[in-house]
Amino acid sequence: MIKTIIDKLYKYNCLEKEEIIYLLKNLDEKSREYLINKAYSTRLKSYGKTVFLRGLIEVTNFCTKTCLYCGIRAENTNADRYRLTKEEIISSCENGYNLGYKTFVLQGGEDPFFTDEFLVELITEIKYKFPECAVTLSLGEKSYESYKKLYDAGADRYLLRHETANPKLYSSLHPKMSFENRITCLKNLKKIGYQVGAGFLIGLPNQTIEDLAMDLLFLKNLKPHMVGIGPFIPQKDTPLRNEKGGDSYTTITLLSIIRLLLPDVLLPATTALGTIDSTGREKAFKAGANVIMPNLSPFECRAKYSLYDGKVFTDNESAEEKRKIEEKIKNAGFEPVMVRGDNITWKRI
């Protein structure tokens, strides 16, 4: 039965909800290995052995939102807040460019200081200085008009995890936010023409196997170009500080199912996974992940961008970090590459 389900997933890249639930509830060591091998051959067909490197710049840890799990939530008075200036962001890009990066991911909390006007200027300047590079934004929920302005300024991609596809769980974790608006944002981003990234957290309090099945089907239905998933890791200054958090085993299993549901998707091995399992990211590549996002933020800020406890960040040079990550990728049998690495189905409109 379980082999039949995995074979169907491999061949047709789809499953019914009951089949996903059955799969998640009944995977044993052997069938999990079978699943992971199928995900591996699928990634070979779409992206070969390449792993794309993206330079991550954490531009601000100010945030107006109060997501219960997140260390930079507005109500965390212990967070040491910072925001980079336009010059600091450009200089981080420059540093990354000199190391060979062809994608810059600008990530931050929902910080009203970063107005459309500021961001348009910033993106325009980055694209002027580094025309062959892609700009990815990860700055939360905005209006259609704002997203459009940033796209027209040259932004190529936008990451906005849906966090969980169960509307009830979503509203219990995101005070004063709306699941419906989250989905509207994702649809608007797609309509505008961005390469869009969705994704969810694993191991949230009260999250069930059924919820994870909903997340997988949500992704199948949305067809994003990128998917970021990772274990929820408790952060000491948040209401969820005493919760258990997600595990590496489940995360890797889910990565392999996502690779099979969306064969062409860009799928990062996330920092959160590397935090709870020191070899988690290597395992992730074998299960279908094909992106990694080394940190390019100024060193003084890295500890402050503390979404969860124990985040792996280095205070060595970006050049040194890049070299180490490349070595890890090679040792796992993959090939680190620094091209733009667009989703193979995407063209700018």
Q: Which residues of this chain interact with ligand 5AD, rule CB under 6 A?
A: 69-70, 161, 163, 201, 230, 232-233, 235, 272, 307-308
Amino acid at 234: P
What's the closest the beta carbon of residue 40 comes to ligand 5AD, in angstroms?
A: 25
| In the complex, least distance from residue 76 CB atom to ligand 5AD, rounded to whole angstroms | 11
CB of 215 to ligand 5AD, least distance (A): 12
CB of 195 to ligand 5AD, least distance (A): 17
At closest approach, how far in Å is the CB of 194 from ligand 5AD?
Answer: 16
Task: Compare residues 47 and 305 and give the one whose CB is closer to ligand 5AD.
Answer: 305
DSSP string over 51-118: EEE-EEEEEE---S---TT-TT-TT-TT----B--HHHHHHHHHHHHHHT--EEEEEE---TTS-HHH
Give me the least distance between CB of 29 and ligand 5AD, in Å please: 27
Q: In this complex, which beta carbon is closest to ligand 5AD, that of residue 231 or of residue 336?
A: 231
Which residue, 227 or 262, has its beta carbon nearer to ligand 5AD? 227
Name the one residue in this structure whose structure tokens are 């890890």.
328
SS3 at position 34: helix
Nearer to ligand 5AD, 179 or 308 (CB): 308
CB of 33 to ligand 5AD, least distance (A): 27
The beta strand positions in the chain, using DSSP E, are 50-53, 55-60, 103-108, 134-138, 157-159, 195-198, 201-202, 226-227, 230-231, 291-292, 335-337
Going by DSSP bridges, is the β-strand pair 230-231/335-337 parallel, antiparallel, or unpaired?
A: unpaired
Least Å distance between CB 240 and ligand 5AD? 7
Q: Which is nearer to ligand 5AD, 233 or 254 (CB)?
A: 233
Owner of token pair 């694993």: 202
**Strand ranges (E), 225-346:** 226-227, 230-231, 291-292, 335-337
Sign of CA dihedral 25, 2, 281, 218: negative
3-state secondary structure of 198: strand
Give the other-Cβ count within 10 Å of 134's Cβ. 21
The smaller minimum CB distance to ligand 5AD, of residues 27 and 276, is found at 276
* C-beta of residue 173 within 8 angstroms of C-beta of residue 222: no
Task: Give the side-chain half-sphere CA count within 13 A for 80.
Answer: 7
- Closer to ligand 5AD at the Cβ: 24 or 198? 198
Nearest to ligand 5AD of 73, 322 (CB atom): 73
* Residue number, nearest CB to ligand 5AD: 308
Give kind and range of the element (H or E) at residue 211: helix 209-222
